[in-house]
Amino acid sequence: MGWRVLPLAVDEPAALLQQGAAALDALADDPTPTLRWYRASSPALVLGRGQAPMVATPGVTVVTRSTGGGAVLLDSGLLSLDVLLPRGHALLDGDVGAVFMRVGEAWAQALIDLGVPEVTVYRAAATAQRRGSARQQLLAAICYATLGRGEVLCRGRKLVGLAQRRRRPGALVQCGLLRHWEPGPLLAAFGGDAGDAEVIGHAAGLDDLVDDAPDDAAIMSAVQRRLAG
């Protein structure tokens, strides 16, 4: 079965996330694997399913997504992709986490195709410890402060984060490519220090790491070739 590739959508964060959840349910009627690109028109703190912020952040919109994992800042510095896979799709073979490796490898190869240097895929167990010390819980609360299977690094710093949701019709794998990394609002929401050097240094935006970084159109095209080609 061929893939459906949707053009880049720009909308309010809550609407974008609702559209992704609806697209997952829609696989029951139309099981076409789909790539859905989007970027937020205004910033929002996006919590993983089951998360809650520790500190109220006035002026910051807070929404919850259907996938798990840590919080992200959905803003102009994040290029997002939903990979929608119907039940039984080859990318879903194996254990629940196997799809992360396949999607992450496609992202990594796409970035390498575009000349991005020192791209690697994290292959070990997830580093988030939600029931650890207060420090470990803070790191686990922020998506880009820890690593999960299949996530993509550039020069040793996290660049592409992954999360997923499974339902009867199939799976939604959410991908976020940092173009810029500004974790201050995330740290504030979970009671952290805005100058936390460990969190700041753990991730990086592509535009901050690479001179003449490829633009969104080139990245989208390269990822589509690797995932759906």
Q: How far apart are CA 50 and CA 57, in angstroms?
A: 18
Given a contact cutoff of 8 angstroms between Cβ atoms, the answer to whether 142 and 187 are in contact is yes
Nearest by Cα to 76 from 116, 42, 30: 42
Beta bridge pairs of residue 39: 10
The structure tokens listed for 110 are 């796409």
Residue 208: give its domain's CATH number.
3.30.930.10
- Per-residue confidence (pLDDT) for residue 224, from 0 to 100: 97
Count Cα atoms within 13 angstroms, Cβ side, for 120: 10
Q: How far apart are CA 131 and CA 63, in angstroms?
A: 23
- The answer to whether residue 229 scores a pLDDT higher than 80 is no
Count of structural domains within the chain: 1
| Helix, strand and coil percent figures for the chain, each rounded to 5 | 30, 30, 40
- Per-residue confidence (pLDDT) for residue 1, from 0 to 100: 63
Q: How confident is the model at residue 54 (pLDDT cuts 50, 70, 90)?
A: confident
- Per-residue confidence (pLDDT) for residue 51, from 0 to 100: 86
Q: How confident is the model at residue 215 (pLDDT cuts 50, 70, 90)?
A: very high
Q: How far apart are CA 97 and CA 54, in angstroms?
A: 29
Q: How confident is the model at residue 53 (pLDDT cuts 50, 70, 90)?
A: confident
- Per-residue confidence (pLDDT) for residue 52, from 0 to 100: 79
Pick the more confident residue, 5 or 130: 5
Given a contact cutoff of 8 angstroms between Cβ atoms, the answer to whether 70 and 51 are in contact is yes
Beta bridge pairs of residue 44: 61, 74
- Per-residue confidence (pLDDT) for residue 58, from 0 to 100: 74
Kindly report, residue by residue over 173-208, the tens digit of the pLDDT: 999 999 999 999 999 999 999 999 999 999 999 999
- The answer to whether residue 225 scores a pLDDT higher than 80 is yes
Residue 152 CA to its chain's centroid (Å): 10
Domain of residue 113: give its range.
Answer: 4-228
- Per-residue confidence (pLDDT) for residue 130, from 0 to 100: 87
Question: Using H for helix, E for strand and C for coil, what is the string for the chain?
Answer: CCCEEEEEEEECHHHHHHHHHHHHHHCCCCCCCEEEEEEECCCEEEECCCCCCCCCCCCCEEEECCCCCCEEEECCCEEEEEEEEECCCHHHCCCCCHHHHHHHHHHHHHHHHCCCCCEEECCCCCCCCCCCCHHHHHHHHEHHHCCCCCCEEECCEEEEEEEEEEECCEEEEEEEEECCCCCHHHHHHCCCCCCCHHHHHHECCHHHHCCCCCCHHHHHHHHHHHHHC
pLDDT > 70 in the chain, percent: 100
Least confident window among 7-21, 51-65, 112-126: 51-65
Q: What is the mean pLDDT of residues 106-129?
A: 97
